[in-house]
């Protein structure tokens, strides 16, 4: 009679290797899926933040804690691809980008107009300060009917009310 010997350790070792490989593959795909879901959620947040600015108009309440020059109105309006408004006398516009609550407005262009009935020195100073503030924008928040803009240090530089 012939003796047949089965080596159970070899079979279980092969089975264990296959099982471990299957588990690792499952974990890898699970981790990759989690990354994809996380990135999708980040994109949705960015889109929502951008959308909350589109087609909104705001009037300046304070700049660096100070009220605007009397009888002057400073505004900001967001469209899908640009920001524009009035700096008290002259109009301005620029492109802008958002990323979450980050807001980047740069290279503001000004449409120079005659400033009738306003003190030129005060308006020129206010417009220069406003342009510098807008171009130093780093982040924003909307709180109720207020748009609050911060610089890179986190200082509140512009506060607007919804129009």
- 49 within a domain of the structure (yes/no): yes
Nearest one of 80, 83, 33, 61 to 157, comparing CA atoms: 61
* Residue 85 and residue 48 share a domain: no
* Residue 97 and residue 18 share a domain: no
Instruction: pLDDT tens for the chain, 163 residues: list them.
Output: 565 555 555 555 665 565 555 454 554 444 444 444 444 444 333 444 668 899 999 999 999 999 999 889 999 999 999 999 999 999 999 999 999 999 999 899 999 988 777 677 889 999 999 999 999 999 999 999 999 999 999 999 999 999 9
- 74 within a domain of the structure (yes/no): yes
42 three-class SS: helix
- 39 within a domain of the structure (yes/no): yes
Q: What is the bridge-based pairing of β-strands 75-78 and 56-63? A: antiparallel
* Residue 65 and residue 96 share a domain: yes
CB of 123 closer than 8 Å to CB of 72: yes
* Residue 65 and residue 25 share a domain: no
Name the residue range of residue 82's domain.
54-162
- 155 within a domain of the structure (yes/no): yes
* Residue 98 and residue 18 share a domain: no
The residue to which tokens 């807001």 are assigned? 103
Nearest one of 52, 49, 156 to 98, comparing CA atoms: 49
Among the residues of 1-146, which ranges form H helices? 8-53, 120-135
The domain boundary, picked from 53, 69, 86, lies at 53
The whole-number pLDDT of residue 7 equals 53
* Residue 107 and residue 43 share a domain: no
Domain total in the chain: 2
Q: In this structure, is the dihedral angle defined by the CA atoms of residues 140, 141, 142 and 144, taken in order, positive or negative?
A: negative
CB of 62 closer than 8 Å to CB of 158: yes
The residue to which tokens 């005060």 are assigned? 122
The whole-number pLDDT of residue 147 equals 97
Nearest one of 51, 143, 147 to 98, comparing CA atoms: 51
């Amino acid at each position: 009679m012939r003796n047949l010997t089965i080596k159970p350790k070899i079979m279980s070792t092969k089975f264990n290797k296959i099982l471990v490989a299957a588990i690792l593959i499952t974990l890898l795909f699970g981790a990759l899926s989690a990354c994809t879901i996380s990135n999708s959620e980040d994109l949705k947040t960015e889109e929502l933040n951008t959308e909350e600015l589109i087609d909104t108009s705001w009037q300046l309440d304070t700049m660096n804690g100070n009220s605007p020059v009397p009888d002057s109105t400073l505004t900001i309006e967001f469209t899908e691809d640009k920001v524009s408004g009035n700096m008290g006398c002259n109009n301005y516009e620029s492109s802008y980008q958002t990323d979450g609550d980050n807001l980047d407005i740069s290279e503001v262009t000004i449409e120079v107009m005659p400033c009738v009935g306003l003190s030129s020195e005060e308006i020129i100073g206010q417009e220069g300060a406003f342009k510098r503030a807008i171009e130093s924008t780093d982040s924003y928040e909307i709180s109720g009917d207020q748009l609050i803009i911060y610089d890179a240090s986190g200082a509140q530089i512009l506060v607007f009310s919804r129009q």
